[in-house]
Amino acid sequence: MIKSIIQKNSYIVNTGISLVIIILSLVLLYLCLQNNNEGFTIDNGSVFKEQCATTLIQEGSKIYLFNKEIPEEEGVNPLVFDSLDEYVDFVNWQRKQGLACPVLALQSEYDTQGNKVYKRRATIEEPSVTYAKSILNKNETRPKVAKLIDASRDSAVYNQNMFAGFDPDNLYIGEFTPLDKMYNSLEKSSTNAMDKNWGGSHYTIEALNEMKRKKKDRNQEFSPKFIYKENAIRTYKK
């Protein structure tokens, strides 16, 4: 009798342990399946099934997707993505829903005054860089040379052998003068340290060494010959 009771209790305990193990396994399996979902939830993203977002803002490592046509709600509008991959997954999910939305990509930056501003970008994956038209113009030519007007030398009668005048107000800003021509070459790399196209100290040293080598080679090759018959000094008798 006692033995049968013990066996029955053991069976109940074993059955209970088995049920607990099965339940825990199912819970773990459910959690694993939930963790394999995309970074956003379909329920939260359901507001974007029929309406396109109006603004995409990248702030630090976070990406925020807004729809200004509907009220803001935490977890719903905006949608928050922890990485660009999550946003790409969301876009792919939208396309599967038959919704191809153009999105305005913005990126938060700080201006020179320290104010937070948002700059427009062509795409959030590869932010566009804008250049000045003068930089993009490959056929840009150097401006015409503007002659310097020096009051100290403008009169040949009264201002002879005078020193060059000094321009304290720098009235030739933006003009290309003969002085600029002296210090700004048309070459890509210049040996002049005052030139904005200066190739650097190593470039200048190499150019000087090359000039020395050429001069040395020229001196070795040059061997003047004197032809006495053609260059003899003739004396004439009176």
pLDDT interval class at 88 (50, 70, 90): confident
Edge to edge, the sheet with strand 79-81 lists: 79-81, 62-66, 55-59, 105-110, 116-121
- Looking at residue 147, its pLDDT comes to 75
Is residue 76 in a domain?
yes
- Looking at residue 136, its pLDDT comes to 46
- Looking at residue 167, its pLDDT comes to 73
- Judge whether residue 40 has pLDDT over 60: no
Exposure b/e, 21-36, CB count within 10 A at least 16 = b: eeeeeeeeeeeeeeee
Per residue in 149-181, pLDDT (tens digit) is: 776 767 777 777 777 777 777 777 777 777 777
Contacts of 163 (CB under 8 A, 6+ apart): 152
Is residue 157 in a domain?
no
pLDDT interval class at 215 (50, 70, 90): confident
Is residue 192 in a domain?
no
Q: What domain range is 106 assigned to?
A: 42-121
The CB-side HSE value for 68 (13 A sphere, CA atoms) comes to 6
Per residue in 12-21, pLDDT (tens digit) is: 767 778 888 8
pLDDT interval class at 131 (50, 70, 90): very low
Is residue 106 in a domain?
yes
Is residue 114 in a domain?
yes
Mean pLDDT of the chain: 70
Across residues 55-60, what is the average pLDDT? 76
- Judge whether residue 200 has pLDDT over 80: yes
- Looking at residue 132, its pLDDT comes to 44
| Strand-strand pairing, 62-66 and 79-81 | antiparallel
Is residue 73 in a domain?
yes
The CB-side HSE value for 181 (13 A sphere, CA atoms) comes to 10
Q: What's the total number of domains in the chain?
A: 1
- Judge whether residue 80 has pLDDT over 80: yes
Is residue 136 in a domain?
no
Q: CA 97, CA 92: separation in Å to the nearest integer? A: 9
Is residue 15 in a domain?
no
